Amino acid sequence: MFKLSLCIPTFNRAEYVRDLLESISNSDNINEHSAKLEVCISDNASSDDTESMIKEFQITHSYINIRYHKNEKNMGPDYNIIKSVEISKGEYCWIVGSDDILREDSLRNVFQEINKSEEEKVILFTRDEYDITMKVRLGERKWAHTLERFEFNTQDRILLSYYLSHVDTLGGVLSFISSIVFNKKKWDSVMEGPSRYIGSGYAHVYKLQKMVYQGIDFIYCNYSNIKCRLGNDSIYENFVQRTMLDFRGYVMLANDVFGSDSILKNDFLKILKREHPELRIINLLTKCKKKEINEIKEHLFQCDYSKDFIEDIISNNYLWRKFILIKKILRKLRKITKYVGLGG
């Protein structure tokens, strides 16, 4: 059995996958790690040269164990993420987005974290963010700014509540695949539920959150272990659709995972509120269609947004649209002023 499976779901990203595979081959001590490592690629019926590129890479880099599966047709991203884990045989899995790349020390860091104890665990890292060319580093994205390294067993509900209450963004509750390493046996133990999440964008989060709620060692590592390519979110480019993806998915997750556990459920939903502050909600409600209003309101109320605030935006939609426009103009003016000041 392999110690670690890198699970890569992909679709029509041959060049990006090549970059990712090269980053694996260029990892520190790859010869030391290669016998314990497999790379599992689930291809969602790509029409580009992904398959031929991978076959060529298997020949030129035979010391890397690559398992390649190609779906007969495109089954959507949720299915393909689940499939990439299904075909793996490692004790631990690390789902890596096919447009991201590893740091030179990424594999060393993961093996060190896995080997610190024999307990089954979920490990969460932060990420370095880059532009779409992967040449310009934009900064590090942390999921819980006030926490340093934080280790606990999630059966301790007080510590789980403490962790959730300190998470700033959805990445801290396992939305971003390339930051998460997890025990496959525990993943496989979650049998029910994921099929209803196919198409939600968060089927993998359901599996992971069920693992967390059932009880597992959880390690939040407050350091980056992946280079994330931004500007390539092909699931939903529209702001309203992308934001609604979060609310639909995470409200459903809160109900399905935490059920009647009102404390943890509320802690979980409040992360949505921190992810989407009031200005973002104003932007959402002024851009959405009338037929979407009732669904959005229901989700916002569950996440403890002020009812008066929401109703005011809906009732005075025109004025709030002008407010958003003025904010954008002021933001541009600040940028121009800063540029001119620097130029002077």
The reply to whether 172 falls in a domain is yes
Do residues 70 and 177 share a domain? yes
Do residues 178 and 308 share a domain? no
Decide which of 197, 229, 261 is a domain's last residue. Answer: 229
Do residues 287 and 220 share a domain? no
Span 208-237, pLDDT tens digits: 999 999 999 999 999 999 999 998 865 556
Do residues 64 and 196 share a domain? yes
The reply to whether 52 falls in a domain is yes
* Domain total in the chain: 2
Low-confidence ranges of the chain (pLDDT < 50): 344
Span 155-205, pLDDT tens digits: 999 999 999 999 999 999 999 999 999 999 999 999 877 789 999 999 999
Whether 279 contacts 326, CB under 8 Å: no
DSSP per position, 242-263: HHHHHHHHHHHHIIIIITT-HH
The reply to whether 237 falls in a domain is no
Q: In 3D, which of 209, 235, 4 has the Cα closest to residue 102?
A: 4
Considering the entire predicted model, what is its pTM?
0.90
Residues paired with residue 8 on neighbouring β-strands, in sequence order: 41
Do residues 69 and 217 share a domain? yes
Do residues 214 and 269 share a domain? no
The reply to whether 246 falls in a domain is no
The reply to whether 104 falls in a domain is yes
- Please give the Cα distance from 301 to 297 (Å, whole number): 6
Give pLDDT, residue 287. Answer: 87
Do residues 206 and 259 share a domain? no
Do residues 220 and 256 share a domain? no
Do residues 257 and 216 share a domain? no
Do residues 224 and 268 share a domain? no
The reply to whether 238 falls in a domain is no
CATH number (domain holding residue 110): 3.90.550.10
Which domain range does residue 309 map to?
A: 252-343
The reply to whether 202 falls in a domain is yes
For 98-123, b where at least 16 C-beta lie within 10 A, e where not — what string? bbbbbbeebbbbbbebbeeeeebbbb
The reply to whether 242 falls in a domain is no
- Please give the Cα distance from 284 to 273 (Å, whole number): 13
Whether 253 contacts 299, CB under 8 Å: no
Span 30-44, pLDDT tens digits: 988 899 999 999 999
Give pLDDT, residue 235. Answer: 54
Do residues 159 and 266 share a domain? no
Decide which of 195, 229, 263 is a domain's last residue. Answer: 229
And the tokens for 270?
Answer: 């409040």
Do residues 149 and 15 share a domain? yes
- Please give the Cα distance from 290 to 272 (Å, whole number): 22
Give pLDDT, residue 234. Answer: 57
DSSP per position, 141-186: E-S-TT--SEEEETT-HHHHHHHHHH--SGGGGT--GGGEEEEHHH
